[in-house]
Chains A and B, each alone.
Chain A
Amino acid sequence: MGSPCELLVDSKSDIEAAALADTVSTEAWRIEDKFSRYLPDNVVSRINNSGGEVVTVDDETANLLDFAATLFEMSNGRFDITSGVLREVWTFDGSDRVPSKSQVEQTLKRVGWDKASWCRPDLQLAPGMQIDLGGIAKEYAVDRAAMLAAAGSGDACLVNFGGDLVATNAPKGSEGWQVGIDALGQDRNIAQKLIRLKNGGLATSGDARRYLLKDGVRYGHILDPTTGWPVIDAPRSITVAADTCTQAGMLATLAMLAGPEAESFLEDQDCKSWCLR
């Protein structure tokens, strides 16, 4: 998952807690193995190396692709699992290496879910195109792991994969799990906000350490696939609470893509959210 993953369990029994940890980690590794674009021989690798051929996918992958297709439509193309190739020209390492307009335009030719042909269970990408399920799979993994944990035990759990998390219940004698949102650019140990999560998902989008700075303009790492350029004036961090981690994560990402309108977008969704600018 590219980040520390943890499970907190409020259990009287070491054996039960160990069994839950096993369930959760097995599911996390299964999803990572299956959907990571960094690993060879998985379904994503087959799709990305298909050379324009049709790839037939299994049910679970098809569900994720359906979900991605819905998000693409819903966001008018701004949420796009084929946008990962833009990273070939954009590296957000704090430097001033902003790509040229022509570099971006060239790369943008290989971006666009509408250029792919998805007819469940068959997917055909144009040659040179790639998909990256990283924007969905982590949240999906958190929800899946939490569902399995809740099905296997009545104990209160907090599944936390790199800051995207789900609580299945409050620990005994408390109102909920205490979750801190980091203060950006400050001491990492100081939480800017404390949230008490009893049930549901919490996801954060944004990373203040990933940006480019050129001629006084700060380019945040959220790219708009419709232009190939970073979203201007997006909050530095958005945290959303929703029934599931997947919903929370997608709302946070969509709000980021809304740039200056992030807050009003979230207000319209009637969800609890916290934006840091």
Chain B
Amino acid sequence: MKRKNSKSVAATLTTATCALLGTTTTTPVNAQEEHAWEFDTALLYYGEGDSRVQDASVNLLAVRNFVDDRVLSLTLGVDSLTGATPIGAVPFDGPQTFTSPSGLRVKTRPANEIPLDDSFLDTRVAFSAGWQQPWGRLSSFNAGVSASKEYDYLHLGANFKLAHDFNKRNTTVSLGLAFSSDELDPVGGAPQALTSMLDVGDLSNRLGSQSKDVLDVVLGVSQIINRNLVVQLNYSYSSADGYLNDPYKIVSLVDPVSGDPVPRVPTPGVDGPSHEYLFEGRPDQRTKHSIYGQAKYYMNGKVLDASYRYMTDDWDVDSHTVDLRYRWPFSGQSYIEPHVRYYTQTHADFYRTSLDSSAPLPAYASADYRLGEFDAITVGVKYGRQLQSGNEWSARVEFYTSSGSVPADLLIGNQAGREIYPDLNAIIAQFSYSFGW
């Protein structure tokens, strides 16, 4: 065939075919090759207000689909954290000086502000690999490993999951197990729980590296109710053992009447803390139970995804999470997906804003705002678009706001009139691109 003629072949063929079939129009072909590899790439920015934590991350997910439903998935994530985070000390009307986590210098924070530690800057690299394959006609098996490294933390994990379909494949039950072993090697060494923050250069209450083991078990049932509705119910058990403290968090020792930090005088000629602070101390065991329910409802291409989680643990933290997403496709290739999430939790039984200097020390204490009582709302929207090539990009913007409340019986003296709990506002922006190869 002469090349110069060949371009007109398709056009002539279309005319001839329409004549043969007696039609004037045909629906345009829509065929896409399913690629062996599917990639999801994402750039994520998370930024807290008041120059607190900023996190930028790059995430890559690669999925290799083999025939017979065997799937290999690999993930790689790199993120970079900067900014400041509350260290747990109570604010009062004078400046406060703290020894840095390294124990090598001091930092003074202004009066009437929740003290922050802005010395951290970290890069984390995370990797995981998973393999899924059928096991017999109605079951499937999953196994995976994960690892992540930041300069003071190493995580290693392994996970397994078995799923079995029955009831004409309308019901799936699954059992998942995950085990992780983490090692912490904090800057300056992990402090001993409930010991004092010391002068610069004094590392006598610092320990070597610490470890933590976590076992997770998940039992799940998913049920297809009808063509439009799928529901999922999970029970999870999680048990953590080992060093569960945040080595960078402290609790103020305060005057039993005024509630102000107890002043301290550093050794002459040496810098040191201006007040009495203790490194936090948490139990070395935590057991969580949670129930998770999810319903996905399809309505002519639109999808409502609603979920609820209840978690309770032996630290007395109870939480409720409600999450709603509504995926709304339009113009064939695009969709818009509003998202609302509400979260509320009670405080841990050893949560304290500060410790009474006249009372004996409790067994455990933490002023970490994440163990306090708070509510959080996330509101966001995602826009996604499928390209002609079958590739897809999406952009997501979300706003997160949390506000805490400290029970009156935990506030001492002047603390009642001050803002003790650090409220938080954050913005989350993500751009994703998915493509096949």
Q: What residues of chain A have their CB less than 8 Å away from a CB belonging to chain B?
A: 12, 63-64, 66-67, 70-71, 74-76, 78, 140, 143-144, 147, 168, 172-173, 175-176, 178, 180, 189-191, 193-202, 241-244, 246-248, 250-251, 254, 257-258, 261, 264-265, 268-272, 274
Contact = CB atoms under 8 A, between A and B. Distances in A.
Interface of B: 1-3, 6-7, 9-10, 12-14, 16-17, 19-23, 26-34, 65, 67, 227, 298
B12 A74 contact: yes
Given A178-B34, A269-B10, A200 B19 contact: no
B16 A70 contact: yes
Contact of A78 (B1, B12, B14, B28): B1
Interface of B is mostly: mixed
Contacts of A70: 12, 16
Nearest to A66: B19
Nearest to A241: B31
11 contacts: A70-B12, A74-B13, A195-B34, A197-B31, A198-B30, A200-B27, A246-B20, A247-B17, A248-B29, A258-B6, A272-B33
A268 B30 CA distance: 19
Contacts of A241: 29, 31
B29 A272 contact: yes
Contacts of B67: 180, 189-191, 194
B411 to A, nearest CB: 54
Given A67-B19, A193-B34, 17 more contacts: A71-B13, A74-B13, A75-B1, A147-B23, A173-B227, A189-B67, A195-B34, A198-B30, A200-B29, A247-B13, A251-B9, A257-B1, A264-B3, A268-B6, A269-B7, A271-B29, A272-B29
Given A70-B16, A254-B9, A243 B28 contact: yes
Contact of A194 (B12, B28, B33): B33
Contact of A269 (B9, B22, B30, B65): B9
A200 B16 contact: no
B389 to A, nearest CB: 11
Contact of B28 (A63, A140, A200): A200
- Of A78, A190, A269, A270, most B-chain CB atoms within 10 Å: A269
Given A67-B16, A200-B27, A247-B17, A194 B3 contact: no
B120 to A, nearest CB: 44
A265 B1 CA distance: 9
A201 B31 CA distance: 9
Given A144-B21, A246-B20, A199 B30 contact: yes
Contacts of B1: 75-76, 78, 254, 257-258, 261, 265
Contacts of B3: 261, 264-265, 268
Contacts of A269: 6-7, 9-10
B9 A140 contact: no
Contacts of B16: 66-67, 70-71
The 3 closest A-B pairs by CB, nearest first: A200-B29, A241-B31, A194-B34
B13 A250 contact: yes
Contacts, number: 125
A274 B30 contact: no
Nearest to B300: A172
Contact of A66 (B2, B9, B20): B20
Contacts of B28: 199-200, 243
B169 to A, nearest CB: 14
Given A67-B20, A144-B21, A265-B1, A200 B31 contact: yes
A127 B23 CA distance: 35
Contacts of A274: 33
B168 to A, nearest CB: 15
B23 A196 contact: no
B31 A198 contact: yes
Contacts of A168: 27
A244 B22 CA distance: 13
Contacts of B31: 176, 195-198, 200, 202, 241, 272
- Of B13, B27, B67, most A-chain CB atoms within 10 Å: B13
A168 B29 CA distance: 10
B267 to A, nearest CB: 70
Contacts of A248: 29
A244 B26 contact: yes
Nearest to A194: B34
Contacts of A193: 33-34
A178 to B, nearest CB: 7
A142 to B, nearest CB: 11
Contacts of A63: 19-20, 22
A64 B10 contact: no
Contacts of B14: 243, 247
B6 A201 contact: no
A67 B12 contact: no
B170 to A, nearest CB: 14
B302 to A, nearest CB: 12
A75 B13 CA distance: 11
B13 A201 contact: no
A196 B32 contact: yes
- Of B6, B29, B298, most A-chain CB atoms within 10 Å: B29
Contact of B17 (A246, A265, A271): A246
A268 B7 contact: yes
B334 to A, nearest CB: 15
Nearest to A140: B20
B77 to A, nearest CB: 27
A195 B32 contact: yes
A270 B20 contact: no
B2 A76 contact: yes
B24 to A, nearest CB: 12
A254 B31 CA distance: 20
Contacts of A78: 1
Contacts of A172: 227
- Of B2, B7, B10, B31, most A-chain CB atoms within 10 Å: B31
Nearest to B7: A268
- Of B10, B30, B33, most A-chain CB atoms within 10 Å: B30
